[in-house]
Structure 1
Amino acid sequence: MSVNLHSFTQYAPGSSRKILDNINLTVEDGAFIALVGPSGAGKTSLLRAIGGLSPVYEGQLLIDDLPIGHSDLPKRKTGFVFQNYALFRHMSVARNISFGLDVLPRKQRPDRAAITARVQDLLELIQLPHLADARPDQLSGGQRQRVALARALATEPKLLLLDEPFGALDPIVRRTIRRWLRELHDKLGLTTILVTHDHEEALDIADRLVVMQDGRIVQDADATTLNTSPQTPFVMQFLGETLEFAGKIQDGQFIPEDTDALPFPVSEKNGKTTVFIRPCDVQFISGKGAAHILSRSRNPNGLYHYAVQTTQRALDITTPMPTEISEGEQFGLDISHGKIFANLP
């Protein structure tokens, strides 16, 4: 099932403030995309609009190339999983899973035997057949998440919408569940849209990341493109630790304000600007400046951390490779692998 939004705009109730501003998005049939960005970026608002939970908007929303209005919600074949799971505490796991089938109109509802068989299949799929009679309060967080997913899948949706589904889980369970979810997506041939504020989670599971800021899409690309060619400083900063070096471009050279950062050739026009660079891309050049290492350590992931003092400021730099710079040795910072954004003064 494909999703297309064209010039899609939505306002806060009773206000002229835009929650979603001129959204253009294409989600191909079978794709797995993640909507990422900070709180208030519009991720959940966009997901709810696609799911038919926010029907008033400007622009166009197409499901499988057909305009879909709020009255056509049952035709969307959509499963929705919320952050808090929204399981019914008074119902068993099996009843929670069958709920979407139980409430279908009589003409669309399978008979009881078919519903029972469907629930059993889903219990096997989520690897919890032994917990059919348990109540949600008897389950772990990871188990409740699987039940919520099974309930969303009970009506055999083609489009699965997930709103921060891993937020309440501990890191180890999160990794297990998201791997399982990706396998499930591939196995069932779903189109999946995930909302998360965790860019590492999105990079691990999704085909594409749609980065949002202030109700707009600022970049829509795969992980490699986002890392190598971020279109704005916000995208680069959101996706990982970033150092900034203010300075000016003069006669084909970027000249940093920090005198321990080394000038390097650029093609941009003269004027003030800023270089953005990942700490791991900063190189230490012995004898080319007055920077020095205050302390060094190695973290549990095997990365090397250096507390560096330049003439103007202190920097934290983490790299995958150790430096040969010795204690007390002075050096300059090669920042030539950084990025200058043309639209940034």
Structure 2
Amino acid sequence: MIPFSILDLSPIIEGSSAAESFRNTLDIAQHGERWGYQRYWMAEHHGMPGIASAATSILIAHVAAGTTTIRVGAGGIMLPNHSPLVIAEQFGTLESLYPGRIDLGLGRAPGSDQTTARALRRNLSSDANEFPRDVLELMDYFSAEPRQPVQAVPGKGVDIPIWILGSSLFGAQLAAALGLPYAFASHFAPQQMMHAIQLYRDTFKPSAQLDKPYVMLGFNVFAADTDDEAQFLATSWQQSFVNLRSGRPSRLPPPLRHYLEQLGPSAQDLLQHVLSCSAIGAPDTVAGQLKAFIDKTGADELMITSNMFDHAARLRSYEITAQVRGTL
């Protein structure tokens, strides 16, 4: 029985606010802890009207303060937006406050458009080696004897698991070369999933952090008491995804009956592709789809995301997912 974890972007629904999203985030984390989820991750996105997790390290602190055992972390921090020293200090602080519970996942995408990325850091680099250099610099700040002329305080000597995130072969190669666990964003970009998994496993080099490959895969679950209800609830995320890919990012809209039938062929093809890493339905339906995905990929862990408009329905989806995990 592999671990299940939760990925939460603190979605802002239509007619609501970021403050309400943060209350919901903590509520889901507290329930997830009781239901046996392994970790609770939040992701850095900027300039998105429907995502409230931009200040990711602050939100991690909020969740960690309101829970006791579940691991809390970033899935991920988009390192090109930041100085590695600043991230070392932030996560050194988090680990000092909540020892043994903090994860740090790192991605090389800006988590935004190019205009927003410039506003965040203002010195965008086209050098493909910049991200690996930044990762190594960040890891060095956490070491017991850093080589950097400046020390991360807090940060030096702390034990924080570092993950490499990705949706292409680049992240797989880097994670394997550094001997780090690898999280693939199959929940929204499944195109190269199987190739990336194989490349990572075939080229993995053991490290002080990890002695063998460890693959976490993103997976969408929209679970409810009936298949029909689950299909209906999933349309909020489907609308949001189509809006985003159409250049019209939005707050998470309410579910819409017969939404898929209203779409043109290109939008339907888009959703059909991304839904290849999703389970939608009643408990038995979801259990079958989860088992098929795990058997196909050999995943070591699943990172479950369930963006629904109604908070109670979202909680129920995570509860059902936790319950069916024991049957897989």
Say which structure is richer in strand: 1
Alignment TM-score, normalising by the size of structure 2: 0.32
The higher-RCO structure (CA 8 Å, 6+ apart) is 2
Bigger Cα Rg: 1
Alignment TM-score, normalising by the size of structure 1: 0.31
Say which structure is richer in helix: 2
